[in-house]
Amino acid sequence: MLKLIASIGGFCLIFYLYRRKKRSILPLPPGPKGYPIIGNALDMPPSAVWEKYHEWCKELGSDIIYLNLAGKDVIILDSYEAVTELLEKRSSIYSDRPRMPMLGELMGFDFNFGFLPYGDRWRAQRKLMIQVFHKTSTKNLQPHMLKATHDLLRRFVDSPNDIIGNIRHMTGESIIAIAFGLEAQPENDPYIDIAERGNRLVTTVSMPGLFLVDSIPSLMHVPEWMPGAGFKRKAREWRKIAKAMLEIPSSAAKKRIDSGDYLPSFMSYSLSRMDEKGDITQQESLIKATAATMHSAGADSIFAAVTSCIIALLNHPDILKRAQEQIDSVVPFGDLPTFDEEEELPLVTAICMETIRWRDIVPAGIPHMLSKDDVYKGYHLPKGAVVVGNAWTLLHDEEVYPDPFSFKPDRFLQDGKINKSVRDPSDVAFGYGRRICPARLMALSAVWITVASLIAAFDIRQAVDDKGHVIDADPEYDCDTLLRLPKPFKCSMKPRSEKHRKTILATLGHEYHYAL
C-alpha cells in the first residue's frame, strides 16, 4: 500500500514538473499564490466560489486570473469583455468541456451532453434537441407548460404552504411531459424523484476541484478498499441513480409510444424522424440520452427562477400590485393569462428578466476547456485549461445594472416597453458561445407563463406566525453546487378573489391541444 501511495505521489510530482517545463515564454495571468503541486486547491471556498473568484480579480486588478488546482490549469474570466472575446468570438477553441472522470466514467452521467467533449456525439445530441427547442418549435411546447402551470395553481389552492414542493412538482411535471410525453402523478412521482436526486448529484459533483480524480484521472484505477478511495464507493452507488435517469423514463415513454396512446414529446417526435437506413440502435441511444439530459438539466433552472421570483415579490409588494394591475388591464378579471398576452405584459417580462439577473441560476457558469494554446492581453492561456466565465460578476456589474444587488425590474423598461438597450441577462445566464443552452427559449417561456399566472391569480404575501408576527421571506440559498437554489421558506398564497379560485379549479377539465 505504501508503495502505491508513493507511486501516486511521485507521478503527481513528475506531472507537475513536466507541465512547468512546457510553459510558454509568455506569463500566465496573475493569480493568488498557492502551494507547490496542489497550487490553490486549499484556497477554494466550500460555497459561493463565484464571489471568491471576483474577490481575487479585484485584489489582483485583472479581469482574467489563473488558478492551479492540484495541477489543473483554471482560467477565470470576470468581465463581459473577456467572456465575449474568448468564449464567444473564439468559441471554436473554447467550446470543449473539461474531462470529469467522477461524473462521467465513474458515475455514468456521460449521457448528459452538456458535459460531453466538443465532438461528433455532442453535435448529434445538440442537433436532436435544437429540432424541438428552436424558436418556432418552442411554441408547440406551450400546451405542456400551460398544463403544468394550471396544475401548480390548483396545488397552491389545495396546499398553499408547500411552496418548494409545489414548484418542484410543476417543473418536474413540465419536463417529463416535454421530454418523454409522460404524465406526473399528483404525489410521489417516481420520475420527478429520480430527477431531483440525479440533479443534486450532477450540480454538486461538477464543481471544479471537488474530487481529486478529476485533476488526476489515473486515480480511477485505485481499488475501492484503498484508504482515500471513498470516492469510488460513492460513485458506485451514485451510478445507480444515473442509470435510473437514463433508462426508466425512456422505457416508459417507449411503451406508451408503441401502444399509440401517448402525448407528443421530444421522444415521440425524434423517434418518428429516425433515418430507417441508418443504425436504429445508435439513433435510439442518442435520443434516449438527449431526453435524459433534458430531464437532468431542465427542472432545476425553472424551479430556481420561479422560487426566486416569488421571494422578490414577497419583499416588493408594490411591484406585485403594479403587475397585477397591468394584467387586469389586459386579461378579464378572474381569468388566467395565456402566451397570447405576453407582448402586452412587459412588466411581467421585466420581472422575469430581473429575477434571473438578481438571483442568477448558475453563478459561475459551466466550465469550458481550451482545446489549443491561446494568447489574450499578453498572457499565455495553456491548452487543456478549464475556463470559467463568472456569470455572477457579469449579472451584477454596476456599470450595466446600477444598484445591482437590488431587485428593480424597471431597469429593463422604457416608455412602457422592454428597453432593448439594456443587456438581456439571458445572454449570460444560459451559457456562452457554442455551449449556450439550446433549451433556453423553452425555459424562459416556462418561467414567464408560471410567473404571469401566479401574479394574476394569487395575493403573494409574507407569512404570519401563530403570534401574528410576519415571517421574514429572505431565505438563504444553497451555494455549494453549480446551481444556486433557495432553501425552503414560507409565504401566504391566497386566490385574489372567489372568481379566481373557481377559474383555477376549472382548469382541471381544460383540454390542451398538443402538437410537435
Compute mean pLDDT per 10 residues along the chain, 516 residues long, and list them.
45 48 78 91 89 96 94 94 97 94 92 91 93 84 93 95 92 92 89 88 81 86 88 93 93 94 92 90 94 84 94 96 98 96 97 96 92 97 96 97 97 96 95 93 94 97 83 80 86 95 93 78
Burial (CB count within 10 angstroms: exposed 0-12, middle 13-18, buried 19+), residue 44: middle
Q: What is the CATH number of domain 94-366+397-509?
A: 1.10.630.10
Sheet holding 386-389, edge to edge: 64-69, 72-77, 386-389, 368-369
Q: Which residues are annotated as part of the binding site for heme?
A: 437
CA pseudo-torsion sign 29, 31, 36, 42: negative
Burial (CB count within 10 angstroms: exposed 0-12, middle 13-18, buried 19+), residue 133: buried
DSSP notation for 251-305: HHHHHHHHHT-----HHHHHHHT--TTS-HHHHHHHHHHHHHHHHHHHHHHHHHH
CA distance 183 to 192: 11
Q: Which of 137, 141, 188 is nearest to 165 (CA)?
A: 188
What are the CA-CA distances from residue 30 to residues 43, 45, 63, 356, 378 (Å)?
15, 19, 10, 31, 11
Helix (H, G, I), strand (E, B) or coil at 389: strand
The backbone region for 391, taken as left when phi is positive above 0, alpha when psi lies in -120 to 50, beta otherwise, is alpha
CA distance 293 to 287: 10
Taking the CA atoms of residue 51, residue 405, residue 438 and residue 477 in that order, the dihedral angle to the nearest 10 degrees is 60
CA distance 201 to 243: 13
Q: How far apart are the first and last CA of the chain?
A: 58
pLDDT of residue 15: 47
Angle between helices 280-314 and 190-205 (to 10 degrees): 80
Helix (H, G, I), strand (E, B) or coil at 83: helix
CA distance 205 to 213: 11
CA distance 402 to 251: 50
Helix (H, G, I), strand (E, B) or coil at 476: coil
CB 246 within 8 A of CB 195: no
Domain boundaries, the chain: 94-366+397-509
DSSP conformation class of 384: T
Q: Which of 355, 272, 367 is nearest to 312 (CA)?
A: 355
Burial (CB count within 10 angstroms: exposed 0-12, middle 13-18, buried 19+), residue 181: buried
What would the grid cell of residue 108 be?
455514468
CA distance 288 to 108: 14
DSSP conformation class of 482: S
Can you tell me which residue has the cell 422604457?
414
Helix (H) or strand (E) holding 369: strand 368-369
DSSP conformation class of 407: -
Q: Which residues are annotated as part of the binding site?
A: 437
pLDDT of residue 7: 47
CA pseudo-torsion sign 320, 326, 328, 332: negative
Q: Which of 495, 490, 493, 492 is nearest to 506 (CA)?
A: 495
pLDDT of residue 472: 76
Q: Which of 340, 445, 438 is nearest to 132 (CA)?
A: 438
What are the CA-CA distances from residue 393 to residues 79, 307, 323, 409, 437 (Å)?
7, 22, 28, 19, 19
What would the grid cell of residue 472 be?
421574514
Can you tell me which residue has the cell 403573494?
460
CA distance 326 to 497: 17
Q: Which of 127, 131, 128 is nearest to 140 (CA)?
A: 131
